Chain A
């Protein structure tokens, strides 16, 4: 019998192998969790938000239709800037009889009567925007009053303190480009001359695209008043980024107030 002692067992090799296995396993699980979280984010942003927006759109469409039937519409006197005043404002809406000068004392044109609807409540649907050349907007997308985060989750939003669509001045409507139904996903495909319709309680206002530009999000001048009646659409640019804004300027070419504003 050989009673020689067995050689000592080397503990370090299996132990270090176990550490490596644990590290690889941790990296693997971390990658899987990160992948699932990123995939979840994409699914939530592209599909879940749009699903919610579409559910809201059904209700908002009905709300807008009800608004068309119940909104108070009044006739007010509109005084356009004088034809010789090329840099004048967007005209003046006055109560009662019109005058021959505006607030700045600038001579003005003949007073005319335009239809004005009462201001909608923040968050409520009051209009429908349709763009025949953009498939997703051919049926129309409800426009709500306000551009708060919650307003824009439901539909396109009309910037308060800018004129209602169809009114003199510059009416501004903002909308998501890639999420929450992405109503303005394809507005970059618009060309000068394309039509945009905005239905309000007063009637259907038709605008014609004049210009598309890209600006920084802080460039407030795009919302400033303009001569005549304009619609300005604003959305994020490029897609999946909020770094810039895509702006569409469109001018009124037909509608209940068109003749009064442009005559």
Chain B
């Protein structure tokens, strides 16, 4: 993790901003993946047909 962080381009401030942005995008993607799994496999809402 530290190695990946240090490999980011730019000075330390830029590295931090990039890391935060990447983490946010990853969280949003993860949210949609969770949502898809939940509504398709766990609880579809009980619809018939």
| A and B associate in one complex | yes
Binding site for B on A (CB under 8 A): 37, 40-41, 44-45, 48-49, 147, 149, 152-153, 157, 159, 172, 174-180, 184, 217-220, 222-223, 234-236, 240-242, 245-246
CA–CA, A44 and B30, complex, Å: 10
* Chain A at the B interface: SS class: mixed
A234 & B46 in contact (Cβ 8 Å cutoff): yes
Nearest CB in chain B to that of A216: its residue: B48
**Which residue numbers of B lie inside 8 Å of A, CB to CB?**
30-31, 34-35, 37-39, 41-49
* Complex partner residue of B34 from A44, A147, A222, A235, CB under 8 angstroms: A44
Given contacts A49-B35, A234-B47, A236-B44, 14 further A-B contacts (CB under 8 A): A45-B34, A45-B43, A147-B45, A147-B47, A152-B46, A175-B46, A176-B43, A177-B43, A217-B44, A217-B49, A235-B45, A241-B42, A245-B46, A246-B46
Interfacial chain A residues near B30, Cβ < 8 Å: 37, 40
Give the most central of A153, A179, A240, A245: most B CB within 10 Å: A179
User: Given A44-B34, A44-B38, A179-B38, A223 and B43 touching (CB < 8 A)?
Assistant: no
Interface of B is mostly: helix
Does A234 contact B38, Cβ atoms closer than 8 Å? no
A221 to B41 Cα, complex, angstroms: 23
Q: In the bound complex, do residue A217 and residue B43 qualify as a contact, i.e. CB atoms below 8 Å apart? A: no
Q: In the complex, A184 Cα to B47 Cα: how many Å?
A: 12
How far apart sit A44 and B31, CA to CA, in the bound complex (Å)? Answer: 8
Known: A40-B30, A44-B34, A49-B38. A174 touches B47 (CB 8 A): yes
Q: In the complex, which residue of chain B has the Cβ closest to the Cβ of A152? A: B45
B residues near A48, Cβ cutoff 8 Å: 31
